[in-house]
Amino acid sequence: MKTYDLPCEACMKTDNHCCTTDIHLNLADAILMMGYAKEMGKDVLIGLHPTADSHMIFMIVPNKPGLDINIEPCIFVGSDGKCEIYEDRPSICRTYGTEHMRCRFEYSNISDEDVIRNCTREDINKLDEAAMDREFSILGKMTRYTREG
C-alpha cells in the first residue's frame, strides 16, 4: 500500500487538522476505542455519526455540551498533538494518508502551516471534494472491473 508524506506536524498546530471527533468508526473500532477511553479515564459518549443514515457509522466524543465535531480534537490527541493510541488506532486512521484515502492538504500540495490555518470551512470542503472525487473515480473503475471481470 502506497503512503504519502503528510503535513501532520504543521497541520496539527491549527484547527483544520483531520484528527477531530468527526471520525467515522465501524462498530468494532468504536467498541475498542471506548475501551481505551475508559482505561484512560476519559469522559466520553458513543453514538451514531450524524451522517450515518441507515449505515452503522459511529463516533466517540468528549462528554461536553456545545461540542463542534468539525474542530474538537479526537479524544486521543495528546497535548503534544500526537496520537495517544497510535499503535492501536482505528482502521480509518490507518488508511488515511494512503493511496486509498488521501489527505486533503497532501493531495492539494499544501504543507504551509499559515495556509492550512487560514483555510475556511468552505475551503476544506472543496479540498475534501477534490480528494474524494479522485477516490470515487478509482472506486468506479474498480466496480467496472469487477462487473466485467
pLDDT digits (tens, 9 = 90+) for 60-82: 888 988 888 777 888 898 888 78
Residue 3: pLDDT band (50, 70, 90) is low
Residue 69 and residue 27: Cα distance in Å, rounded?
19
pLDDT digits (tens, 9 = 90+) for 78-94: 888 788 998 898 888 88
pLDDT of residue 143: 42
Q: Is 16 helix (H, G, I), strand (E, B) or coil?
A: coil
pLDDT digits (tens, 9 = 90+) for 4-62: 676 777 777 777 677 877 788 888 999 999 999 999 999 998 888 887 776 788 888 88
Q: Domain spans of the chain?
A: 8-148
pLDDT of residue 120: 85
Q: Is 106 helix (H, G, I), strand (E, B) or coil?
A: helix
Nine-digit cell at 111? Answer: 504543507
Count Cα atoms within 13 angstroms, Cβ side, for 57.
12
Residue 145 pLDDT greater than 60, yes or no:
no
- Name which residue leads in pLDDT, 117 or 141: 117
pLDDT of residue 142: 42
Contact 69, 57 (CB under 8 A): no
Contact 74, 22 (CB under 8 A): no
Mean pLDDT of 96-102: 69
* Residue linked to cell 495517544: 84
* CA-wise closest residue to 116 among 97, 108, 77: 108
Global pTM value: 0.68
Mean pLDDT of 97-108: 74
